[in-house]
Structure 1
Amino acid sequence: MSSSSFPGWDSMSSAEQADILASPALAAPNGTVSNLINPPNRNDIGIPVMATFFALVIITGLLRLYSRVFVVRNMKLEDYLGFTAYCWDVFAMVNGIYSTGALDLRHAHADDLVQWIWIYRLIYAVVMLFAKAAILLEWRHLFVPTRTRNWFFWATTAMIVVNTVAYGVAIIMTCRRCNPPKKIWQPWVDGTCADLYSQKSTDIATSYINLVMDIVILLLPQPVIWKLKLTKQRRIGVSLVFSLGVFVLVCAIGRIHSNTVMDYIANSTRGGAINMIWAYGEATFVMVVFASPGIPRAFTKQAWVVSLVSTFRSWTRLGDSTKGNSNGSVWARKTPPSWSIGGSNGKRRKPTQSDLDLMETRDAENLESGYNNYPSSVSELAKLPGDGTWNTAIIEMEESARFNASSARGLGQHGP
C-alpha cells in the first residue's frame, strides 16, 4: 500500500491547497517544460476514431432494436442483457476521453481525467459482462435445438459462467483499488491504495484472460456452421458473419500491448487514455457482434428490400433460366419456391406486398402463441428439404429462421 501523496492536506490553508491544484499533476522531466496553456493531445486521431466507433454502435444497435421491437416483436433474455450493455457503452462514448500527459495538466484538471479512466474501467467490465453473456445466449438459441444438451450447449454455459466470474472479479478489484476510491483521482485524500506494480501485473493478467475468452467465443460456432447442410459458399458466408469477432481480438491485443508498455509510475494518464481507446474499440465490436444476427430481420418488412433482392436474383439467374426454359419464362423456372404463389387461375405469380405482410402477421401470431411446429434452431432448419435459398438465412435470429421455414413449407409446395 502507498501512503498519501499530500500528507497533511486537511491541515493546509486554502491558499496552499490552491497552489497544489494549480501545479502540474506530474513534475516535468529534465530538459522539458510543462505546457499548461495549450497542452498537446491526440485529438486529431482520437476524435475520428471515437466518432467511427460511436456511429457503428448507434447504427447497429438501433437496427437490432428495431428488428426485435417492431418486426419480431419478441424480446428474449439476451436482448435485455445486450441492450443494457448497449446503453452503458453509449453513455461512455458520449462522455469520451482524451490523451494528454499528466505533466501538461494541472492537478485540478488531471483529477477529472483520472476519475473518468477509473469510471470507464468499471463501465468496460459491465459492458463486457452483459454483452458477451448476451452473445453466448443467442448463439445457444441459434445453434442448439430445443431441449437438447449437446457439447455446444455445455460449452456456452461454461463460458457464460467464466465470463460472469471474470468480469465480476474485475469490477470488485477496480472498486477496491483505493480506499476510499476517490483517492485514485484525488491523491491528497487520506487513505491507502494498492501498489502500482501489482496493479500493472493484475491488468496484464486480466487482459490475457479477456483475450482467451474472446478467442473461445469466436471459435465456438465454427464447427457447427461447417457441419450445416449448406453449399460451401453459403457456409463461408455464414462463417464470415460469425467471424466479426476478429476485430474484437485486434482491440484486445491492443489493450494487452498498452497495459504492457504503460508507465504506471511516472505518467499513467496518457497511457491510460490510449488503453481506453483500445477498450472503446473492443466494446464497439462486441456490440456489433451482438447486433449483427438481428440486423437482416429489420429489413424483411421493407417492400423496396424485397423488390431489390428479387430483381437481383432474377438478373443473376437469367442466363441459366433462358437455357433451361424454351418459353423464356425466367420467373417460372428459377424463382425459389418461397418467392412464388399459386394464383386463382392455376398459374404461379410473384408474391405481392400484401402476401408478404400476411406471412409476417401469421408468423408474429405464431410466435406470440408459442407455436412450436417450426424448427427451433438453425441446426434443425438446415435439415429441411429443398434448395434452401430463403431457408438458409442463418445470420438472422431464431424467430427469423422460423419465419423462413414457414414460408418454405407453406409456399414451397407450389414449386416446380
Structure 2
Amino acid sequence: MGPPYNLTRSDLSLAATVTVNLGFFARNFYDSKTIDVVSAFARFYNTTPNATDSEVLAFSGARPRDFDILMAMVDAETFRESIFWVDALADYLPRTPGAGHILVPVFTVFTVLTTIIIALRLYSRQTVAGGVRGYDWLMVLGYFMTLVYSSSALYHAVNINTGSQFWDYTWNEIALQQIVYMCLDVIYPITSLIIKSSLLLFYYTLSPARYLKWSVWATFGFTCATALTAALYSVLRCRPVNFWAEWFTSTCDPHQTIPFLVTGSLMILSDVIIWVLPLPMVMRLKLYRRERIAAIFTFSLGIFACIAAIFRLKALHKYFLTDSGTGRYPIINTWGVVELNLAIICASAPALRALCIKHAPKLLSYGSNGSESNSNGSNGSSNGGGPSDRARKNTRSVHGRVIVHHDQIRPSDLASLRSGISRTGSGWSDVEKSVHYSSTSRIGSPV
C-alpha cells in the first residue's frame, strides 16, 4: 500500500525517530523490527491505558535511567500519542529494498581482476626487474586491505542491508550497521593511504632529482594527514564511541556530512597530485613522441581512480544521512570498492607494460630490427668490459633506438656498465651509449 498524499518528508523523519528511539528503549524487543515494537506498545497501551512506570519498564525491559531520560524528552501523553500515530501509519510507510545487490557483481569482477593484476605485477618484478621491491610489498598490503574493505562492504550489503528505512530493521541490526559503518569509514582512508604510499615510494626511487624527492615527501605528509584525520573523525564523531549502546546519552556531531565531504575532497586532491607528480619528469626525458605519449598515458591511468573517488564523494553527500534510514550506504561502499581497486590496477600499469615489452613486444609495437646485433662486435664486449648478457637481453629497438625500461635494469648490470666502460665514450657501440645515457640520467626510462 502506498503512502497517503499528506505523508510528508518531515512525517517520515518523525516516524524514523520514534521507531529508532523506541527500538533502543525496549530491550525485550531487540530482535524485533522497530515498527513491530511500535505495534506491540500500541497494543500494550490499548489493553493497559493506565499503565504505571513499573509496568512499562517490565513490559519493555528498559533500564530505569533510559525511561527517565525519555520522559524528560517527551511527557507520557506525547509518548503514547506518537506511538499510536506511527502505528496507524505502519501500512503506509515506504519499504524500499536495500541497495546491496549492486555491490555483488562489482565485488566479484574487481576482486578477480585485481588479484590477477597483482600476481602479474609480482611476476613482472621478479622476472623483469630482478626482484620484488619494497613499494611492491606495500601495494600487496594495500591489495589485502582492499580485500578486507570490499568483503566487509559485501557482508553489510548482503546480510544487513535488507531495507532502506529504520522501521524495517531490528535494533540489533541497527547497532550492527553502525559498527560496520565505523569500520568501513576507518578502513577506507587507511587503505587509500597504503596504496598512495606505495606509489610515492616508487616515485621516490624513480629519479635522483631533488625536486621530485621533496615533492614526494610533501605529498606524503599531506596524504597522511588527510587520511588519518578522516579515520580519527570516523571514530570520534560521537561520544561515547559505541554510541549505539548509549543512544539516549550519546552526543554526535550534528553536521557529520561536512567533515566527510571536506576530508573526501582533500583525499581526491591528493589523488590528483600523486597521479600528475611524475609527468614533469617524463616530459623532461628525451623520448620519441610515441614513447612520450605512452609514458604519459601509463602514469595518467590513475585519473580513472580519481573519477571513481568523485562519484563516491557525490554518493556520500546524497546518501550518508537520510531522513528515514541509512539503507543506501552500500552505494557509497560500491564506489569505494571501485576506487581502491582501480588505484591498484592503475598503479601496476608500469610493471605490466614492462612485462609486455619483454614477453609480447608486438603488443606495444616493440620489435627488434638488428640494433642488438650491432653491439656484438664492440670493443668492450669482446674483452669482458661491456654490458652483461642480461642487460643486452633487456634492450629493445624502436625505430633504430635502443630502449631500456627502468624495470628491466638490475643493479649488477649498472655496476658492469659503470665499472667496465670508459666514460670518454671512445669505442662505445650504439647500444652501450643508449644504455649508459638512460642509466645515468635516471636509471632507465619510465616507459
What range is the shorter-chain TM-score in?
Answer: 0.5 to 0.7
- Give the counterpart letter for 1:257 in structure 2: K
Q: Is the 8 A contact 2:193 2:223 kept in 1?
A: yes
Structure 1 pair 73–121 and aligned structure 2 pair: CA distance change class (3 A): farther
Which residue in the other structure is 2:317 paired with? 260
- Give the counterpart letter for 1:227 in structure 2: R
Superposition RMSD in Å? 4.2
Matched, 1:202 2:202: no
How far off is 1:135 after superposition? 0.4
Q: How does 1:120-139 map to 2 (within 5 A)?
A: 120-139=184-203
The CA distance in 1 between the partners of 2:429 and 2:236, in whole Å, is 59
Structure 1 pair 297–22 and aligned structure 2 pair: CA distance change class (3 A): farther
| Bigger RCO (CA 8 Å, 6+ sep) | 1
The CA distance in 2 between the partners of 1:231 and 1:154, in whole Å, is 28
After superposition, the C-alpha distances for 1:218-271 in whole angstroms (9 at most, x for unaligned) are 221222212210111111111001011111111121122122223515245234
How far off is 1:414 after superposition? 12
Which residue in the other structure is 1:63 paired with? 120
The CA distance in 2 between the partners of 1:42 and 1:279, in whole Å, is 15
The CA distance in 1 between the partners of 2:30 and 2:91, in whole Å, is 27
Q: Could you say what secondary structure the match of 1:135 adopts?
A: helix
Q: Could you say what secondary structure the match of 2:179 adopts?
A: helix
Structure 1 pair 268–295 and aligned structure 2 pair: CA distance change class (3 A): farther
How far off is 1:200 after superposition? 0.7
Q: How does 1:228-247 map to 2 (within 5 A)?
A: 228-247=285-304
Structure 1 pair 16–276 and aligned structure 2 pair: CA distance change class (3 A): closer
Matched, 1:359 2:393: no
Pick aligned residue for 1:157 from 195, 208, 217: 217
How far off is 1:410 after superposition? 8.7
Q: Which ranges of structure 2 fall in alignment gaps of 5 or more residues?
A: 1-16, 39-85, 378-387, 418-427, 435-447
The CA distance in 2 between the partners of 1:16 and 1:41, in whole Å, is 23
Q: How does 1:160-171 map to 2 (within 5 A)?
A: 160-171=220-231
After superposition, the C-alpha distances for 1:34-77 in whole angstroms (9 at most, x for unaligned) are 65xxx723455332222222233212112122333465453433
After superposition, the C-alpha distances for 1:130-163 in whole angstroms (9 at most, x for unaligned) are 1101101102222x22xx42x2221111001111
How far off is 1:177 after superposition? 2.5
The CA distance in 1 between the partners of 2:374 and 2:112, in whole Å, is 38
Pick aligned residue for 1:295 from 352, 356, 381: 352
The CA distance in 2 between the partners of 1:275 and 1:187, in whole Å, is 25
Matched, 1:101 2:164: yes
The CA distance in 2 between the partners of 1:191 and 1:402, in whole Å, is 67
Q: Could you say what secondary structure the match of 1:123 adopts?
A: helix
Total equivalences in the alignment: 339
Q: Could you say what secondary structure the match of 1:270 adopts?
A: coil
Q: How does 1:17-416 map to 2 (within 5 A)?
A: 17-19=30-32, 23=36, 32-33=92-93, 35=95, 40-42=97-99, 45-69=102-126, 72-97=129-154, 98=157, 100-103=163-166, 104-142=168-206, 144-145=207-208, 148-149=209-210, 151-183=211-243, 186=244, 192-195=250-253, 197-262=254-319, 264-267=321-324, 269-298=326-355, 305=360, 334-335=369-370, 337-338=371-372, 342=376, 359=390, 387-391=400-404, 393=405, 396=407, 399=410, 412=431
Structure 1 pair 131–242 and aligned structure 2 pair: CA distance change class (3 A): same
The CA distance in 2 between the partners of 1:265 and 1:181, in whole Å, is 21
Q: Is the 8 A contact 2:312 2:336 kept in 1?
A: yes
The CA distance in 2 between the partners of 1:108 and 1:17, in whole Å, is 6
Structure 1 pair 204–9 and aligned structure 2 pair: CA distance change class (3 A): closer
Q: Could you say what secondary structure the match of 2:97 adopts?
A: coil
The CA distance in 2 between the partners of 1:293 and 1:205, in whole Å, is 32
- Give the counterpart letter for 1:194 in structure 2: C
The CA distance in 2 between the partners of 1:101 and 1:23, in whole Å, is 16
Structure 1 pair 286–32 and aligned structure 2 pair: CA distance change class (3 A): farther
The CA distance in 2 between the partners of 1:231 and 1:19, in whole Å, is 69
- Give the counterpart letter for 1:192 in structure 2: S
The CA distance in 1 between the partners of 2:192 and 2:108, in whole Å, is 20
Q: Is the 8 A contact 2:129 2:408 kept in 1?
A: no
Flag the structure with larger Rg: 2
How far off is 1:280 after superposition? 1.3
The CA distance in 2 between the partners of 1:255 and 1:313, in whole Å, is 38
With the length of structure 1 as denominator, give the TM-score of the two structures.
0.67
Give the % identical residues.
Answer: 18
Q: Could you say what secondary structure the match of 2:326 adopts?
A: helix
The CA distance in 1 between the partners of 2:105 and 2:37, in whole Å, is 28
The CA distance in 1 between the partners of 2:412 and 2:279, in whole Å, is 19
The CA distance in 2 between the partners of 1:290 and 1:24, in whole Å, is 51
Q: Is the 8 A contact 1:124 1:279 kept in 2?
A: yes
The CA distance in 1 between the partners of 2:273 and 2:216, in whole Å, is 10
The CA distance in 2 between the partners of 1:294 and 1:56, in whole Å, is 16
Q: Could you say what secondary structure the match of 1:63 adopts?
A: helix
After superposition, the C-alpha distances for 1:73-131 in whole angstroms (9 at most, x for unaligned) are 53433223222211111122234432641344333334444432321211111111111
Structure 1 pair 263–78 and aligned structure 2 pair: CA distance change class (3 A): closer
- Give the counterpart letter for 1:222 in structure 2: L
Structure 1 pair 92–69 and aligned structure 2 pair: CA distance change class (3 A): farther
The CA distance in 2 between the partners of 1:8 and 1:48, in whole Å, is 34
Q: Could you say what secondary structure the match of 1:390 adopts?
A: strand
After superposition, the C-alpha distances for 1:346-391 in whole angstroms (9 at most, x for unaligned) are xxxxxxxxxxx9627999xxxxxxxxxxxxxxxxx9xxxx944432
Q: Could you say what secondary structure the match of 2:327 adopts?
A: helix
